[in-house]
Structure 1
């Protein structure tokens, strides 16, 4: 899959693409990331990419002309009609289901906005989808682009050390959409705190029940909305409901 990232700050991606376990996806081109600076397509000696908003007001607005020229260059290089994604507070929030869909796709063109926003005419004509990371505002879309790329990369075959690792992620349907359980490792006792004996028992059924109970407990405490969703989907067992009743 290929992601073309339109950004005024391509240098922000340099350390991201060569660090951590997900670098395997980028180095092998399982997730092919290409960076495009709209300033390279701007007109005039100053390569201007922004201007004051019509009607007045604070800040600057990214101009549609260099963005459209940049997109045209990407289209000329790509053989497919990849969707254009703009990261914006106006879009729906990215979630696990969305990440899974992108991880099985051919990729997209990711537009990272800056300043007060982008000329609406570019959005109206070229943008297929807007996505948000949450109900807050960032300085630009680069962090959101990195979040999407990282989430997609770790789902690719062979990227994680243990191929089954992502099956136990929070929000995964394999865990019925619940949060993940707590994790422990050596030493068995640290600063007076012992690892749960169930995890040291070697009894796989007991271990799995402990993990399931802790997932339910953490989710009920931190994200009760996920419990409601799992219940509505019929994903909770009688044992699950019995534990939740005790926690209530």
Structure 2
């Protein structure tokens, strides 16, 4: 792990720390560099340790050149929601191989990201907001399918992130925007239609991701084979 040569106040701000705490961290960091930690009050030393523990580790060499896709904030946000939905489905005691439409959507988006490995920096994540409307459209189709081949239950889409924010600072936004999040319909598909729906999602999401994200503009990768997985 590399040691920083200057304070990282901007990173704390990006993590959601208040302006007051960010300024306090920068001031204490500078003081420690000049006069040493022993000259700080115990409370200030504890604050510095807390701030530095919240910062991601500094890496060098190849690891610094390319951060793994699964470590990118956008990817972790999707995986966070997928985990919340998986846990909710376990409590539903669904029929064998029945599956929620939303987890399938997230699984297929994550699979495509694993395959193409976009940069997922600011240009990509800004463009990726277009995916919100696509997910809503596919989920609406899934609700109609679930009415015939499954069931529709309720899921509080706001709750997982609200619970996380109560525990730690995060700048993640909700999976669904405010105008759609009030709808808690959560379509569950019978096993007989899960695979067909998954293939429809792949057919729509894979080219969308490849064509939308700026960092994939010059990719020459074809669509992933049906049997491709990250492992």
TM-score normalized by the length of structure 1: 0.31
Q: Which of structures 1 and 2 has the bigger CA Rg?
A: 1
Higher relative contact order (CA 8 A, sep 6+): 2
Higher helix share: 2
TM-score normalized by the length of structure 2: 0.32
Higher strand share: 1
